[in-house]
A and B are shown apart, each in its own frame.
Chain A
Amino acid sequence: MNSQESETDQELLKAKQTGFEPKIVGFLCNWCSYAGADKAGLAQLSYPPNVRVVKIMCTGRMDPQFVLHAFDKGADGVIILGCHPGDCHYKEQNYRAVQRHRILLRILREFGISEERCLFDFVSAAEGEKYARVIGNIIEKIRALGPLNRAKLASKDQVLE
């Protein structure tokens, strides 16, 4: 549990008792990761339904504002999945996405959002199993972190200062 997030033990407990189901947005690139998710489907692997997928053509399209918007509108976590290094359909835009993600984590910290809530990983078109595993893992992780307490986050103005 990250100290920046000040959910108290009681809050956490409450979430656990009420069966906290995290809401997570998954940004998947069209060529590898979305296909990897399809592969998981074809193999009929099961995973919990908490991650809602937004398709983008490439992780290079990932705009940090998408993640901020997701947290603002109720997400407890975000996961960005792209092609493995060297496999990006558009050459190496996933490297750029990784760089942007690193910067984004710093911004999130300013807001008081733990970096554990915003994950970047690689899933290829063949890795249906990995997809199901990564999705399962992030759901467990966010479940353990508890709901994102929006009331306690810094405001945009505060961060801009």
Chain B
Amino acid sequence: MDNKPVKISVFFCRCGGNISDKVDAAFIEQELKRLPDTIHFKVVDFLCGEEEKNMMEKELAEVRPDRVVVVACSPRDHEETFRRVLVKAGINPYLMQMVNIREHVSWVTVDKDRAVRKAAIYIKTAIRRVKLHKPLEKKTIDIIPEVLVIGAGVAGIKAALSLAQAGRKVTVVEKGPVIGGLPVRYEDVFPDMECGPCMLEPMMGEFLHGDHAHNIELLLLSEVSEVKGFFGNFQVKIRKNARFIDPHVCIGCGECVNPCPVSVPNDYNFGRDQRKAIYFPFAGGLPNAPVIDWNSCQRSKGTDCSICKTACPMPEAVNYEETPSVIEKNFGAVILAIGASLYDVSRFPNLGYGTVPDVVNSLEFERLLASNGPTQGKLEMSNGEIPKHVSIIHCVGSLDKNHAEYCSGICCQCAFKYNSLIAHKAPGTKVDHFLREVAIAGKSDYALYQQAHQRGETRFFRYNAIDDLKVIREGGSSFILSQTDCGKAEKIRTDMVVLCPALIPSPDTEKLSAVFEIPRDKFGFFEELHPRVDSGKTKIRGIFMAGTCQSPMDIQKTMNQGVASSGYILSELVEGRKIEVEPINAQVNSDKCSGCKCCILVCPYKAISFDEANEVAEINPVLCQGCGTCVPNCPSGSIIGNHFTNEEILEEIEGMLS
């Protein structure tokens, strides 16, 4: 339809005087009579009222106009309301234009005469525009209800369980040989000093063997290598490495471990003790089955050692022939839950990590305190003695422009947790905290700090910048040199130094952001769709996230995010329901497209791809959010911004100026 005269229904809402006190409906009606179009002009008091909407529907069904104009309030309030009325009346909802006379004219214009003239221009413009509108259809697309969760840390487990409990099939891809993420590597959990394994094991048991475990497929030692598709239908390739032990057959007795002739440093305990080539990462790790580290195993060097297989009471549990496999599966949505890393403390040579004995980072210290760790939970230095002075340095790499600019929010809590554990394990030991800021908000979170304050053995030192601290070794003892505010350097005796580093994005964040083409924020964490409103969504539709891969956070928030991400999925990806595609989006006219790819560069949602066979750009309507940026970026003018086409906007401009 072009500019030929048509039949138009104009509904004028008086809004109980809010509009009509300034804008006289009769004047508008007279003005519209001069148009070549057939105008059905209807004045209503409150068009958004139930009765009035019914009246509007009846009127539309009777008049059967070609186009509809609603003169009322902001379309932000009621455009959807009136679109629904059109649908009920059997008219395509996009053949309507709303004129915002209340917020943009009657409420803001003092002079009645000028208000009514402005209103007349707006309404006549809307008529010009709406004549160019095209009927648009909401397309629907079938979905796959299955969900992929990447990472079996606390966030991933919680998310998968929530989905499985709702009857949803979930595949969980975990890179390591055990589930539970970071928290299963330590024992006591702030703020209540609850026993971590006791807190997590029921949940992990539920995940592995509970009533809904049949809905969960767990792929250990696995990683996602390739992804295609979009929300509702992602095609994913997963590479699964060999464990050489079938965890479903293995009874976890450990008979195989001791006879193994190979010993190597145990990386789970940062090399403080040794493990075998066949090993359990740590006692209590789930699933309770060992793994063979092929690179250390003698078989990888060509021998045919089979000592572990011989020792195993369930001989078919050990399978030396297992090879890596690639699994291809389709999913409707993805949850990223790959956790975070610790800042590399060796980047501060002044802190003595790696050069001065017994300088450890927080995770290493957690392993020392854990009863399944290298010292069976005894607080011991590398020489086996109990430290008399422990120094805990907070904010290592945090709040620092040259390192991690932000506060991770959990390290202070960790530090005071250590204070409490030291008090428990080595009662006479002095603890010195070196801190820049103290950040511990929350209703139960202050207790450990207060306890530390009350302990006679605790001292606090403020420092300004990490360079003001120096860990040195002199005559067989260690000291911390601390530059104080007044410029004086204090020299403080210490036996052991615990560095509490910032939580930073794991290197896999970058890897997966490339695989999924999802943006990262300026720190390198996965970027939220909106940092407050939708922090569990990435910028790409259908890819959600939970836990520390979004931002540093504690277990409480991680668990909440796990549930939140599954909540999004349960409400947006519903079995049997199709995905509705918003028709106000961009579309390529492939006859005109020159294949220059300019549009692909500007799309923030990776909605545009290149069809290599036909050498044209293609816009995925599910991913396109309708911002319209690609439209003016197209040198050949071959992208149409539906409902905001060039023709419609140019016509609107002209109307506004007539």
Interface residues of A (CB under 8 A from B): 23, 25, 30, 34-35, 37-38, 40-42, 44-49, 52-58, 60-66, 69-70, 73-75, 89-93, 96, 100, 132
Contacts and interface: CB of A to CB of B under 8 A. Distances in A.
Nearest to B102: A41
A57 B604 contact: no
A40 B107 CA distance: 9
Contacts of B584: 57
B629 A56 contact: no
Nearest to B655: A52
A54 B104 contact: no
A70 B657 contact: yes
Interface stretch (B141-149, B361-369, B641-649): B641-649
Contacts of B625: 90
B632 A49 contact: no
Contacts of A70: 653, 657
Given A46-B109, A74-B658, 8 more contacts: A35-B76, A37-B103, A40-B108, A41-B103, A42-B103, A49-B117, A66-B650, A69-B650
A30 B643 CA distance: 13
Listed from nearest, the 9 A-B pairs whose CB atoms lie closest are A41-B103, A60-B629, A61-B628, A63-B632, A90-B627, A52-B656, A91-B604, A49-B118, A74-B657
Nearest to B107: A41
A41 B627 contact: no
Interface of B: 74-76, 100, 102-105, 107-111, 114-115, 117-118, 121-122, 125, 519, 539, 584, 602, 604-605, 625-629, 631-632, 641, 644, 646, 649-650, 652-654, 656-658
27 contacts: A38-B74, A40-B108, A42-B107, A44-B108, A46-B109, A48-B109, A49-B105, A49-B109, A49-B114, A52-B125, A56-B644, A57-B584, A61-B628, A61-B644, A62-B632, A63-B631, A66-B649, A66-B650, A69-B653, A70-B657, A73-B658, A74-B657, A90-B605, A90-B627, A91-B519, A92-B604, A96-B602
A45 B626 CA distance: 31
Given A58-B627, A61-B627, A132-B108, A73 B657 contact: yes
Given A46-B109, A57-B644, A66-B653, A37 B629 contact: no
A31 B103 CA distance: 15
Contacts of A56: 628, 644, 649
A10 to B, nearest CB: 25
B657 A52 contact: yes
Nearest to B630: A60
Nearest to A28: B104
Contact of A75 (B111, B121, B657): B657
A89 B604 CA distance: 11
A19 B626 CA distance: 42
A58 B633 CA distance: 14
A73 B658 CA distance: 8
Contacts of B652: 54
Nearest to B122: A52
Contact of B654 (A30, A37, A44, A69): A69
A69 to B, nearest CB: 5
Contacts of A23: 657
Contacts of A89: 627
B629 A58 contact: yes
A92 B104 CA distance: 27
A61 B630 CA distance: 7
B118 A52 contact: yes
A60 B627 contact: yes
B59 to A, nearest CB: 26
B632 A46 contact: no
Given A25-B653, A49-B109, A91-B604, A63 B644 contact: no
Nearest to B654: A73
B104 A41 contact: yes
Contacts of B627: 57-58, 60-61, 89-90, 93
A21 to B, nearest CB: 9
Given A54-B656, A57-B627, A47 B604 contact: no
Contacts of B604: 90-93
A4 B9 CA distance: 47
A57 B628 contact: yes
B185 to A, nearest CB: 36
Nearest to B101: A41
A92 B641 CA distance: 18
A37 B632 CA distance: 25
Contacts of A38: 74, 76, 100, 103-104
A70 to B, nearest CB: 5
Contacts of A58: 627-629
B657 A61 contact: no
Contacts of B631: 61, 63
Contacts of B107: 41-42, 44
A68 B105 CA distance: 26
Given A90-B604, A90-B627, A91-B539, A45 B108 contact: yes
Given A61-B627, A65-B646, A92-B604, A49 B653 contact: no
Contacts of A60: 602, 627-629
Contacts of A34: 74, 76
Contacts of A61: 627-629, 631-632, 641, 644
A23 B655 CA distance: 12
A61 B117 CA distance: 29
A66 B519 CA distance: 31
Identify the interface centre among A47, A69, A75: most chain B CB within 10 Å of its CB. A69
A37 B395 CA distance: 44
A132 B114 CA distance: 17
Among A41, A44, A75, find the residue whose CB has the most chain B CB atoms closer than 10 A.
Answer: A41
A47 to B, nearest CB: 6
A79 to B, nearest CB: 13
A49 B641 CA distance: 29
Contacts of B104: 37-38, 41, 53
Contacts of B654: 69, 73
A100 B74 contact: no
B207 to A, nearest CB: 35
Contacts of B657: 23, 25, 52, 70, 73-75
A37 B111 CA distance: 18
A60 B114 CA distance: 32
Nearest to A67: B653
B98 to A, nearest CB: 10
Contacts of B111: 49
B121 A52 contact: yes
Contacts of B103: 37-38, 40-42
A74 B652 CA distance: 13
